[in-house]
């Protein structure tokens, strides 16, 4: 009997997805709850698990588009799991004394035994995890994947890496070094003359990101205000308590928890920034769900830390660390991304000194953090060196006035420069 594996309903607005990676292959025996395939939607990557055990037959290849309810694969439930042989393998004959030169020339033996092949091994012995498509391409073109720098998780070679490797011009073998000891004259590199272009289909997630960014600019009157903040107080506080904090709570003390708490206090004073426009109405939120922008290998995602006004610093840091881990592993779910009343993006982790963040619709505000850099500033009439960060706050001018936006950013600056305010609520 064949059990049908279909793409399930994974979200109210998700109608189709793209087969990203098969974890199992055709003919492989799968057990119940084994992860069969990862399907990428316009919001997140979804894992499809086996609901029965048997032999798998794949119907949709990696890269193909699949609609909700469409057949992904089938499982032959009448098949039995192959028995694992417990027999001891036959012993290999003992090595014989070295043969005479005449005998050796007739039937030369290899100097070392060949390596034992592994399930994921490529022709050159690469044992990094590979998809069936990559393994097939490597075998067809006799490519040693150990020579390819993989862009996937853990250095995994992806199908795109293989295509790029096969389409790139072959490198000529470098000439042997000259026998002369005198240094060779420097010459300009000679171009091969080839101008290579590649066309790749955007992933479903990247398409959705593009749509949302254009939507934000078309549907909101977006404006950005800037300020700068002295990070000395927080950096001193973190340096003093980071070890006791980690010992007590099992999680590191970062800067994001301070900014989230500072944002919540500012949102309480300027509630329109925590709301959004719905037709001719303004919807205000009396709760605080803060989206934290996370960059993953598949694109930007904004998982939401919910009810942060009720959370301690340790709980906020633990939630952020968990989302960061899920982002690296591709495990962020649709529920993690749903909702959100305000967003914080930290471009400083990539070295950005200043940028203009784009709203995350339908939200009315987003805070951009940036790189901390020592700069000369005037404090009490004296020029001093302080660790400074530029802050940027983009907002929807339809419901947020400039005075409110500036006041919001100044309130965050005050809370960061004097973090005792966060404990006293002033």
Q: Which distant-in-sequence residues (6+ apart) come within 8 Å of 420 by Cβ? A: none
pLDDT one-digit tens code per residue, 205-239? 777 778 777 888 888 899 999 999 999 999 999 99
Global confidence as pTM = 0.60
- 355 vs 79, more confident: 355
Please give the pLDDT value at position 207: 77
Q: Which residue has the higher pLDDT, 266 or 216?
A: 266
Q: pLDDT digits over 163-214, tens only?
A: 777 766 544 444 444 444 444 455 555 556 788 888 887 777 777 778 777 8
Q: What's the pLDDT score for residue 108?
A: 45
274-278: long-range pairs with CB below 8 Å, 24+: 274/341, 274/342, 274/364, 274/365, 275/341, 275/364, 275/399, 276/362, 276/363, 276/364, 276/396, 276/399, 277/220, 277/362, 277/364, 277/396, 277/398, 277/399, 278/362
Q: Mean pLDDT check: name the lowest of 177-181, 283-287, 324-328.
A: 177-181
| Mean of the per-residue pLDDT values of the chain | 81
Fold of 205-424: Chloramphenicol Acetyltransferase (3.30.559)
Cis before 362? omega within 30: yes
Q: Do domains 2-76 and 205-424 have the same CATH topology?
A: no
Query: What is the gyration radius of the CA atoms in the chain, in angstroms?
Result: 29
More confident residue, 157 or 176: 157
2-76 domain in CATH 2.40.50.100?
yes
- Cα 273 to Cα 229, 257, 322, 394: the distances in Å are 20, 19, 27, 10
Q: What is the pLDDT of residue 102?
A: 41
* The pair of three-digit structure tokens given for residue 378, joined into one six-digit string: 């005037």
* Cα–Cα distance, 420 to 412 (Å, whole number): 13
Residue 37 three-state SS: strand
As given in the structure block, the two tokens for residue 184 are 């060779």
DSSP state of 51: S
pLDDT of residue 369: 96
Mean pLDDT score, 123-136: 63
Q: Which residues are catalytic?
A: 397, 401
Mean pLDDT of 290-295: 87
Residues with Cβ < 8 Å from 272, sequence gap 6 or more?
282, 284, 364, 399, 400, 404
| Separation of alpha carbons 377 and 371, rounded Å | 16
Domain spans of the chain?
2-76, 205-424
Which of 20-29, 36-45, 58-67, 405-414 is the most confident on average?
405-414
Per-residue pLDDT band for 107 (boundaries 50, 70, 90) equals very low
Instruction: Decide which of 338 and 187 is more confident.
Output: 338
Residue range 354-373: mean pLDDT, rounded: 94
Q: Is the pLDDT of residue 319 over 60?
A: yes
Is the Cβ–Cβ distance between 58 and 94 less than 8 Å?
no
The alpha carbon of 31 is separated from its chain's Cα centroid by a whole number of angstroms, namely 29
Cα-based distances in Å from 77 to 30, 74, 80, 260, 421: 10, 9, 8, 51, 63
């Amino acid at each position: 009997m064949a059990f049908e594996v279909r793409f399930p309903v994974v979200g109210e607005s998700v109608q189709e997805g793209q087969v990203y990676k098969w974890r199992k292959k055709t003919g492989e025996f799968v057990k119940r709850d084994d992860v069969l395939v990862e399907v990428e939607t316009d919001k997140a990557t979804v894992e499809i698990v086996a609901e029965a055990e048997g032999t798998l037959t794949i119907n949709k290849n990696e890269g193909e588009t699949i609609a909700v309810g469409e057949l992904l694969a089938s499982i032959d439930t009448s098949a039995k799991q192959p028995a694992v042989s417990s027999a001891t393998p036959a012993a290999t004959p003992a090595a014989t004394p070295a043969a005479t030169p005449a005998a050796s020339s007739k039937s030369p033996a290899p100097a070392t035994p060949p390596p034992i092949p592994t399930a994921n091994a490529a022709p050159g012995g690469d044992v990094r995890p590979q998809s069936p498509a990559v393994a097939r391409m490597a075998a067809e073109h006799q490519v040693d994947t150990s020579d390819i720098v993989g862009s996937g998780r853990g250095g995994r070679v992806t199908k795109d890496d293989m295509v790029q490797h096969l389409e790139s011009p072959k490198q000529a073998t470098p000439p042997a070094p000259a026998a002369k000891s005198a240094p060779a004259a420097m010459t300009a590199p000679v171009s091969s003359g080839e101008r290579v272009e590649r066309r790749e289909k955007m992933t479903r997630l990247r398409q959705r990101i593009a749509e949302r960014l254009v939507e934000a600019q078309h549907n909101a009157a977006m404006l950005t205000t800037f300020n700068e903040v002295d990070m000395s107080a927080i950096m001193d506080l973190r340096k003093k308590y980071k070890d006791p904090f980690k010992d007590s709570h099992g999680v590191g003390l970062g800067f994001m928890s301070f900014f989230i708490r500072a944002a919540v206090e500012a949102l309480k004073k300027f509630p329109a920034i925590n709301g959004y426009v719905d037709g001719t109405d303004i919807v205000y939120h009396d709760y605080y769900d803060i989206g934290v922008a996370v960059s993953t290998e598949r694109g930007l995602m904004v998982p939401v830390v919910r009810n942060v006004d009720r959370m301690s610093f340790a709980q906020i840091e633990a939630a952020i660390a968990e989302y960061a881990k899920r982002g690296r592993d591709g495990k962020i779910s649709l529920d993690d991304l749903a909702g959100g009343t305000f967003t914080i993006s930290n471009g400083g982790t990539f070295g950005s000194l200043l940028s203009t963040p784009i709203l995350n619709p339908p939200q009315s505000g987003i805070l951009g953090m940036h790189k901390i850099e020592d700069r000369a500033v005037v404090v009490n009439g004296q020029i001093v060196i302080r660790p400074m960060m530029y802050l940027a706050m983009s907002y929807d001018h339809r419901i947020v006035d400039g005075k409110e936006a500036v006041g919001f950013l100044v309130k965050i600056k005050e809370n960061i420069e004097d973090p005792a305010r966060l404990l006293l609520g002033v």
